[in-house]
Amino acid sequence: MRLGWRDKTMLIKKGAEASLYLETWHDRKVVMKRRLPKRYRIPELDHTIRSQRTAHEPSIIHKAKEAGVPTPTIFMVDVADANIVMEFVEGKQVKEVLDTVSLEERLRLSRLVGRMIGRLHKHGIIHGDLTTSNMILTPHGKVVFVDFGLSERSKELEPKGVDLHLMKRALQSTHHKHAKECFKAVMEGYSEAMGKEKTKQVTAKIREIEKRGRYVAER
């Protein structure tokens, strides 16, 4: 990557799919999302996966904004090298805060997250990786959805159910103490954006997906 403007670079998150670097870009604090080659994959497969995801992600981030969901501003996309330069969002990961705040705040936050997911789904955006580490709580109390690397467009019921099923699973594995109440609040918020009828359908779908899972007692 030829970044003439780079003066200092700091790795802020080494994810599985991409690494995030904090950079200064035209006097702006930015995040550079780099999908570095994965040495475990053969180059053909690796290049296809990285460039497809790099081209795809900014367009979906833009669509999310249209749906009224806060996402980082995209400044530059380099498909060939699989890099995206975007706004640095100040705040904390919802993952860090969710277990430490008061019950009331936890439920408010969960409802807000749910409302944002509802907006995404209403506009045919499936996030694909709804975990609390992919959501940033800003000092102004907004929740910014940051990682759309696995997202897809769909109006179908099935992927909406899978999306929320993943959210539920993320809550259970990372916030197991509060998973139940949080997910309930997420669905309340979801209902505010999607409407009662659609939410009912999605809830039924989630249940169906859960039963589809392996070794589920009630089937």
Partner 1 sequence: MPANNPADSYCLGIESTADDFGAAVVSFDGKVLSNANDAYMPKEGGIHPREAARHHAEVAEKVLAEAFQTATVKPRDVSLVAFSQGPGLGPCLRTGATAARALASYLDVPLVGVNHCVGHIEIGKLATGAKDPVTLYVSGGNTIVSAFEAGRYRVFGETLDIAIGNCLDVFARAVGLQQRSGMPFGAVVEELARKGKRFVSLPYTVKGMDLSFSGLLTAAVQAFQSGKYSLEDLCFSLQEVAFSMLTEVTERALAHTEKPEVLLTGGVAANRRVQSMLEVIAKEHDARFCVVPLSLAADNGAMIAWAGILAYRSGVSTPIEESYVNVKWRLEDVYAPWVEG
Distance (Å, whole) CA 179 – CA 98: 10
Distance (Å, whole) CA 176 – CA 184: 13
Question: Nearest Cα to 128, choosing from 202, 57, 181, 185?
Answer: 57
Burial class (CB in 10 A: 0-12, 13-18, 19+), 141: exposed
Of the candidate residues 39, 100, 104, 139, the single one contacting partner 1 (CB under 8 A):
39
Interaction of residue 6 with partner 1, rule CB under 8 A: no
Interaction of residue 194 with partner 1, rule CB under 8 A: no
Q: Which range in 1-9, 37-45, 56-64, 65-73 contacts partner 1 by CB under 8 A?
A: 37-45
Measured N-to-C along each axis, helices 157-174 and 196-212 cross at an angle, to the nearest 10 degrees, of 70
Interaction of residue 47 with partner 1, rule CB under 8 A: no
Interaction of residue 93 with partner 1, rule CB under 8 A: no
Distance (Å, whole) CA 37 – CA 50: 8
CB of 196 to partner 1, least distance (A): 26
CB of 169 to partner 1, least distance (A): 7
Q: How many residues bind partner 1 (CB under 8 A)?
A: 33
Q: In 10 A of CB 219, how many CB atoms?
A: 8
- 99 assigned to active site: no
* Positions in the binding site for partner 1 (CB under 8 A): 14-17, 38-42, 44-45, 48-49, 128-131, 133, 150, 162, 166, 169, 172-174, 176, 212-217, 219
